[in-house]
Structure 1
Amino acid sequence: MTALERVEAVVSLHAALDRTVAPSELLFDEAALPPVTPEFVELPAPTPLPARDFPDILQARRSHYNPAQVALGIGELSNVLHHSLVSSPTAGGMRELTLSFVVSHPGHSLGAGVYRYIQEGRAEAVRPGDVQGNLRASLLQPEFVDVFPVLLFVVADVEAPLEKYAMRHYRTMHVDAGVLVQNLYLVTEAMGLVGCAIAGFTDARVASLLNLATTQLPVMAFALGRPS
């Protein structure tokens, strides 16, 4: 198979698996989404993580479902994004994974909307504006949107890896995503924040919400907040 054929086959497989899940009955209104913008925003430079013993962090980390109803600081968000990604290895060193995030609650200094993390200290404001309704309709458990101020999405771009590897890398891609999710748990715990991994969402709706290319596949989500 050519690289293009491998990419097309994997994208088709991913879409077929997505169709096996019944989407939320909540209305996903694509026409109501804020327009896509080319705007960029500066994030605070990441700072070192607090000095805590790794065994303590490993034992303490867990999923949380009832965070405090307060906004995250932009510095806290920048730290979670940076430290989770920078320490996350991938097969063959392929930088196939990125993080997008949705600020759904008012009061955050970034403002509500969809963002894509680019690199240390920088993000792209993909869809500035209120997307809470469509975000809820994208999840199989919409209550995550009601209680967590920020949701992160792990996005895998299959184009570059499948130019190098066989289709089997589709499996490895999810292993890499799992490593990143574990990093999110560990970094979140180290910072005194709380989070919860989310696998229950409709890929097609999330892809539309995040304005993803055809080769960019949402593979996991992670709700992020402060402890109650």
Structure 2
Amino acid sequence: MSTEPSVERTLFDLHARPERRDAARNRELLLDAAHRLVDRDGVESVTMDAVAAEAGVGKGTVFRRFGSRAGLMTALLDHTEARWQGQVISGPPPLGPGAPPLERLLAFGASRLDRTVASADLMVAAAGHHGRSGPAVAFWTVHVRHLLTELGVTGDLPLLAMALLAPLDVSIVRQQLDSGVGRERILAAWADLVERVVAGC
């Protein structure tokens, strides 16, 4: 039986509370405004005042919805993560279903690395210095473990999946980029690691 989550049941779906339609609409309005600020001016530009002005609402609305800037940043990270998870479990191949498992695993690594590079500041602002959330890591681990199983890899798959995810961690990626190691080199080393693990199964 497949262990991969269905498109309707990502980890963020499973932990989400049902919202009234108007509340969900307001939440999307505010998060879309925050996304625009990040894209245009960077993470530091995202304040409660700035989001309220961008969305055309009162600052009190933003505070009632998210509680604090930290709450807003966490919601923003979860929002982008949920969108990305949807691509993993229902988007086009090779990231989504339909490609061979090794091709999917390599596409996963490339996409995860690109998200880390593009969203590192947001990850750190939302989740602290480690830049990751528990539900997100759990999803990545389940997905990688699922693909390793399809590839016939044996052993302690939960820990092996975590070992493969470690080089894509935001703290490690940022350190490498800061020391002059480029994205292509990071990805090539990760792909080499994956292929060695699969060949050793």
TM-score range for the pair, normalised by the shorter chain length: 0.3 to 0.5
Q: Relative to total residues, which structure has the larger strand share, 1 or 2? A: 1
Report the TM-score, using the length of structure 1 for normalisation.
0.30
Relative CO higher for 1 or 2, CA cutoff 8 Å, sep ≥ 6?
Answer: 1
When normalised by structure 2's length, the TM-score is: 0.32
Higher helix share goes to which structure? 2
For the pair shown, the structure with the greater C-alpha radius of gyration is 2
